[in-house]
Amino acid sequence: MFLLTLSALLFTSAASGALPEPSDSADGGIPESAGKTPAVKTAVIGGKTHNLAFARTITLANGETQGVYLSEDGAEVIFNGDGNRISGMFLVSGEGSASARKADGPDARKAIAEDFLKPYADTAGYNFLGETYTSDTGVYTLRYARFIGGLRTSDFIFATMNRSGRILEFGAPNAGIFDGVEIPGIDMEKCDGEADRVPREMYGEGLLEYSVDLKILDISASGELVLNYTVKAARQILGEVYSEFITLPIKLG
């Protein structure tokens, strides 16, 4: 399961076990871990079949390893742990990733992204969260997330593109992780109370204020359903005020 870019993430998302989200940059490196036996694969990128050579593996927060492969033109393609689904892609030269349509507005960019994503991650079952733009790199990031029972989950998709509509990267590391999972009734009052108690105990009298930034339904590394609270806390240490984000996993069931 993937939590900020495929390249710098490789997304910081608030969900534990998630692949990092996009860094809003066209470059960056993907973390390495112990390698697997080299292999060769093929993948269709922008309608063209590419030969891929195994490069390395990455290890996600939940301990799952995913394989990174290189195409002949330098694109990095990530496969899930079973090796049967592309869960991310970082396009260097971008061959086959350019759109014939102009990216001249939010609707046009959304259409371009969804057309590109179709073979890898169907956005039909996801809520579109919107786009952000980083002016110094000229990169748009479009984000989607699956919701269950009104709660945002760690099953997300992102894609980045430049001003001309060329897709630079995408990630869908947790696609399908809730398929077949029975979600129990969630006592939100109890969960909110626990998320209120923990920072008070952590920081004691040094806690000045805090607020819940995000709640994400997730599956922990041990396979347990959790509701991850991302909390922004301000505390005082030796007269200085510090702000930080902390993630509080509240077990469900």
Q: What is the CA radius of gyration of the chain?
A: 19
Q: Are residues 122 and 199 in the same domain?
A: no
183 in a domain, yes or no?
A: no
Indicate the residue among 171, 204, 225 that finishes a domain: 171
Of 243, 246, 241, 239, whose CA–CA distance to 202 is shortest?
246
Q: What is the pLDDT of residues 86-129, one digit of tens each?
A: 888 888 654 445 555 677 899 999 999 999 898 888 899 999 99
DSSP structure string for 101-119? S---SHHHHHHHHHHHHTT
Q: Are residues 157 and 65 in the same domain?
A: yes
Calpha distance 223→137 (Å, rounded): 38
Q: Are residues 164 and 49 in the same domain?
A: yes
What pLDDT does 135 receive? Answer: 93
Q: Are residues 114 and 151 in the same domain?
A: yes
Q: Is the torsion defined by CA of 203, 9, 150, 252 positive or negative?
A: negative
Q: What's the domain range around 232?
A: 188-251
CB burial of residue 142 (10 Å; 0-12, 13-18, 19+): buried
pTM for this predicted structure: 0.76
- For residue 94, give the DSSP letter: -
Q: What is the pLDDT of residues 135-165, one digit of tens each?
A: 999 999 999 999 999 999 999 999 999 988 9
Residue spans of the chain under pLDDT 70: 1-38, 61-62, 92-101, 253
Total domain count, the chain: 2
Return all residues near 160 (Cβ < 8 A) that are at least 6 apart.
Answer: 5, 22, 24, 26, 139, 140, 141, 142, 167, 168, 169, 170
DSSP structure string for 46-73? TTEEEEEEEEEEEE-TTS-EEEEEEETT
Q: Are residues 166 and 195 in the same domain?
A: no
What pLDDT does 35 receive? Answer: 42
Q: Are residues 86 and 196 in the same domain?
A: no
Q: Are residues 162 and 94 in the same domain?
A: yes
